[in-house]
């Protein structure tokens, strides 16, 4: 199945599900961080959009553990950077209808939570097709060590995702199930 067909199928399926009963397993994320022995405490998150896995309670829990939270802002040429944000700060809506931080303070995450449309057992993912996260991951890995953790619902898992030279494999994928 082509990526565009797979996206449509998953989007439609996500809309029909009652996602209130699906909570990403926070303990799985903390286990990963303990295992990787990461020194930094800058977490790159995202604001959930279009029935994505909800990150807001995860971001709040990390903020309570003194992590610095950052969220992406989309820039020209399909680029993005992550900017300082706190769960009690207002946001502005970008041209895609996604809330972004108001801050202009760039933060390079040590841990990057990545939204997923579909994924496979080999940690390949499909996003919205713009390549924002693939480009950002390649860019930040030239700057510092970063752990990439994709967040998805278990029903978004597919047998195989065809990849190309632009696609970046994630380090981990966490769902509402124990991983």
pLDDT tens digits, one per residue of 31-50: 999 888 777 899 999 998 88
State mean pLDDT over 72-92: 92
At 4 the three-state DSSP class reads helix
Distance CA 129, CA 96 (A): 14
The dihedral region occupied by 107, where left means phi > 0, alpha psi between -120 and 50, and beta the remainder, is beta
Domains of the chain (ranges plus CATH)?
Answer: 3-174 (3.40.50.10420)
State mean pLDDT over 168-176: 94
The predicted model scores a pTM of 0.91
């Amino acid at each position: 199945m082509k990526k565009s067909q797979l996206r449509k199928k998953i989007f439609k399926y996500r809309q029909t599900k009652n996602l209130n009963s699906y909570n990403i397993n926070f303990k799985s994320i903390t286990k990963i961080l303990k295992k990787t022995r990461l020194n930094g405490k800058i977490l790159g998150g995202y604001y959930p959009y279009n029935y994505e896995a909800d990150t807001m309670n995860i971001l709040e829990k990390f903020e309570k553990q003194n992590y610095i939270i950052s969220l992406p802002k989309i820039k020209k040429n399909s680029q993005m950077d992550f900017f300082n944000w706190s769960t009690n700060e207002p946001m502005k809506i970008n041209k895609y209808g996604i809330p972004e931080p108001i801050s202009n303070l760039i933060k390079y995450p040590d841990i990057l939570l990545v939204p997923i449309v579909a994924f496979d057992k080999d940690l390949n993912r499909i996003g919205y097709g713009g390549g924002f996260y693939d480009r950002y991951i390649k860019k930040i890995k030239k700057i510092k060590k970063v752990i990439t953790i994709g967040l998805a619902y278990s029903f978004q898992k597919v047998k195989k995702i065809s990849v190309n030279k632009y696609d970046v494999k994630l380090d981990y994928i966490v769902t509402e199930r124990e991983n």
